[in-house]
Structures are given as structure tokens and as C-alpha cells.
Amino acid sequence: MTSTGPNEPRQQSERRRPVLLVVHHTASPATQTLLEAALDGTKAEGLEGVEVRVKPALAATALDVLDADAFLLGTPANIGYMSGALKMFFDGVYYPTLVAKTGAPYGLYVHGNNDTTGAVRAVESIAKGLGWRRVHEPVTVVGAPDKQASEAVWELAATVAAALIGPD
Ligand SMILES: Cc1cc2nc3c(=O)[nH]c(=O)nc-3n(C[C@H](O)[C@H](O)[C@H](O)COP(=O)(O)O)c2cc1C
């Protein structure tokens, strides 16, 4: 007899979809443009099997990280570093998620108005400490995002999401 009751084990077809967590600090039209490009990229053809969750950095928690399989990070450069919001996210999740996500694919975009070097270096250093695996070069955008910048962030996001799709 086939049972469909709520307490029955999940069928094979209901397998959990891999989760991409987008953690971003978006505080201006320029960073909003890049976030939208990133979210568009996660919807590229063939990525339907990936569940995308989007969290402002100030609201993302260790549980969000533990529930996710890949990470896309977006931040402005602030005084030669990542935004305080993204740093606060990392401070809150670092030890609670350390080791748990070793090898998880991640990608990063940074927006700045003159020099994004320190922000990229800082995020990469923490991601390395967490054991995350970079699957795309960081995308840095200086000044007002043009079409090329949005396309680069789109590509970045699609690449991180695609890292969750198996060969079958
Ligand atoms: C306090 C402060 C510090 C900043 N520091 C940097 C920086 O170190 N490098 C950089 O490229 N841009 C820096 N910026 C520019 C921001 O990255 C930029 O304002 C942000 O990405 C949003 O872009 P928008 O101002 O074009 O909207 C700074 C902005 C502020 C307000």
C-alpha cells in the first residue's frame, strides 16, 4: 500500500535541493545593481535544482551557514576592508561553523570607489580559514556599475550556483 502521510519518509524525488546562501551588504544603488545581477545569475538556465537564499549580512546567522552548501558574498569596500556588516557576519559564524563547511564553494564581489584590494584580501583570508573553496576569481567593481560589471557579477553567481549541480 502506498502511503502519503505527513510522517512517511521522503521519496527520492523530494530530495533536498542544495542551497546557495547569498550574504550581502547592500547600502546604495550601486551595490543594489550588483546584488540584482548576482540574483539573476543564480537563475541561469540549468540552475533550477539550486535553492537560493538571500540574507543581508546583518541578518545572516550561523544556522543559515550550516543549512547552506555554497556561499556568495557581496560587500562594499570600506576604509580598505570589507564592510563592518560582513565582518560582523563572519565574527558571528566563524567558530560555530568552522570545519562544518570545509570545501564549500564560494564567490565574492566587492564594490568600491577607488581601491578594493584590502576588502578582497580580508574576505579571502577568512574564507580560507573557514575552509571554503573559491570557485571563481573575486569580481571587483570600481565606480558606477556598467553592463560589463553586471555581467561579471552575473557570471560569478552562476558559477557558484553551478558548483552545486552534480554531473547527473
Ligand atoms: C567610510 C567609507 C569608506 C570607504 N572606503 C573605501 C575604500 O577603502 N575603498 C574603496 O574602493 N571605496 C571605499 N568607499 C566607497 C564605498 O565602497 C562605496 O561608497 C560603496 O561601494 C557604495 O557605492 P556608491 O557610493 O557608489 O553608491 C568608502 C565609502 C565610505 C562611506
CB 62 within 8 A of CB 96: yes
For atom 30 of ligand 1, which residue has the closest CA?
78
Asked if residue 5 is part of any domain, the answer here is no
The string of pLDDT tens digits covering residues 103-137 is 999 999 999 999 999 999 999 999 999 999 999 99
Asked if residue 7 is part of any domain, the answer here is no
C-alpha cell at 46: 540549468
Asked if residue 62 is part of any domain, the answer here is yes
Give the C-alpha separation, 120 to 164, whole Å. 23
Q: 10-36 as b/e, with b when 16 or more CB fall inside 10 Å?
A: eeeeeeeebbbbbbbbbeeebbebbbe
Strand partners, 140: 110
Map grid coordinates 561553523 to a residue: 97
Strand partners, 22: 54, 72
The string of pLDDT tens digits covering residues 21-46 is 999 999 999 999 999 999 999 999 99
Domain span holding position 74: 17-162
Asked if residue 91 is part of any domain, the answer here is yes
Please tell me the pTM assigned to this model.
0.92
Give the C-alpha separation, 65 to 96, whole Å. 9
Total count of domains within the chain: 1
Asked if residue 168 is part of any domain, the answer here is no
CATH code for position 87? 3.40.50.360
Give me the pLDDT at residue 2, please: 45
Asked if residue 108 is part of any domain, the answer here is yes
What pLDDT band is residue 155 in, cutting at 50, 70 and 90? very high
For atom 6 of ligand 1, which residue has the closest CA?
78
Asked if residue 10 is part of any domain, the answer here is no
> What is the CA(26)–ligand 1 centre distance, in A?
12
Asked if residue 41 is part of any domain, the answer here is yes
**Which atom of ligand 1 approaches the CA of 76 most closely?**
21
Residue 9 confidence (pLDDT) above 60: no
For atom 31 of ligand 1, which residue has the closest CA?
78
Give me the pLDDT at residue 7, please: 55
The string of pLDDT tens digits covering residues 55-113 is 999 999 999 999 999 999 999 999 999 999 999 999 999 999 998 999 999 999 999 99
